[in-house]
């Protein structure tokens, strides 16, 4: 494998996390990662040496995701959280499910910016390039997205504890 191939291989776990946070569908997520790797190999000459490889790959993956999401939306209605299990767990596991469900409910625009900055720790500038929007848009969108996520999350936590109280 070339050095570029080696460099790509190391990115796979990061790409899988990003794809899963966008799709909440393990099979679809790995398809996206595979397509991203194939496209990156074909277009490696577009990658600037000393650029941020992770950010470049995230950009490719996000575009593939948007195309596919549009196609899927046309076919299914609301299949986004098909694989999300019911919230019956407790402690960290419950919070883990809550955050996944809450994130899955955000719009694509909101979800992607929260994930890129909050989870993947890209800079605002890198996120702006990856999402192909101006820097100011990233910042305002991020604030709205986090607010919405917080509201969804507090609803879920309340629902989970209400459920637990009922079970007791």
Partner 1 sequence: MNSAPIGEIDLHAYVDGQLDAARRADVEAFLALHPEAAGEVQALRAQNQALHLGYDGILNEPVPLRLGQVLQRRRRPYGIAAGLAWLVCGLAIGWSAHGMGPQPAMRSFARQALAAHVLYTVEKRHPVEVPAEQEAHLVAWLSKRLDAPIRAPNLQPEGFALLGGRLLPGGSAPLAQLMYQSATGERLTLMVKRAGQVDETGFKVMEQNGTSVFYWIDRDYGYALSGSMDRSRLLAIARAVDAQLRH
Q: CB of 102 within 8 A of CB of 81?
A: no
134 binds partner 1 (CB under 8 A): no
End-to-end CA distance of the chain: 57
74 binds partner 1 (CB under 8 A): no
Interaction pattern, residues 146-165, with partner 1; x per rule: CB under 8 A: x--xx--x------------
Lookup result for tokens 């629902």: 159
CA dist., res. 126 & res. 133, Å (int): 10
From the list 55, 69, 84, 95, which residue makes contact with partner 1 (rule: CB under 8 A)? Answer: 95
Piece in contact with partner 1 (CB under 8 A), picked from 12-20, 56-64, 66-74, 81-89: 12-20
Q: How far is CA 108 from the centre of its chain?
A: 9
Q: CB of 29 within 8 A of CB of 16?
A: yes
Total residues contacting partner 1 by CB under 8 A comes to: 47
Token digits for 151?
Answer: 């509201």
Which residues here bind partner 1, judged by CB under 8 A? 1-3, 5-14, 16-17, 20-21, 30, 33-34, 37-38, 41, 54, 92, 95-96, 98-100, 103, 114-115, 117-119, 121, 123-124, 139-140, 142-143, 146, 149-150, 153
């Amino acid at each position: 494998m070339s050095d570029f191939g080696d460099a790509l291989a190391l990115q796979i776990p990061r790409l899988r996390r990003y794809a899963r946070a966008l799709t909440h569908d393990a099979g679809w997520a790995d398809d996206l990662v595979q397509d991203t790797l194939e496209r990156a190999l074909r277009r490696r000459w577009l990658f600037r040496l000393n650029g941020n490889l992770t950010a470049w790959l995230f950009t490719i993956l996000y575009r593939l995701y948007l195309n596919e999401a549009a196609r899927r939306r046309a076919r299914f209605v609301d299949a986004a959280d098909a694989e999300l299990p019911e919230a019956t767990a407790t402690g960290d596991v419950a919070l883990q499910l809550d955050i996944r469900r809450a994130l899955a409910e955000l719009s694509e625009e909101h979800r992607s910016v929260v994930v890129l900055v909050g989870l993947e720790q890209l800079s605002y500038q890198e996120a702006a390039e990856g999402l192909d929007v101006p820097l100011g848009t990233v910042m305002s969108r991020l604030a709205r997205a986090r607010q919405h996520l917080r509201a969804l999350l507090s609803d879920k936590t309340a629902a989970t504890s209400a459920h637990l109280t009922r079970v007791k």
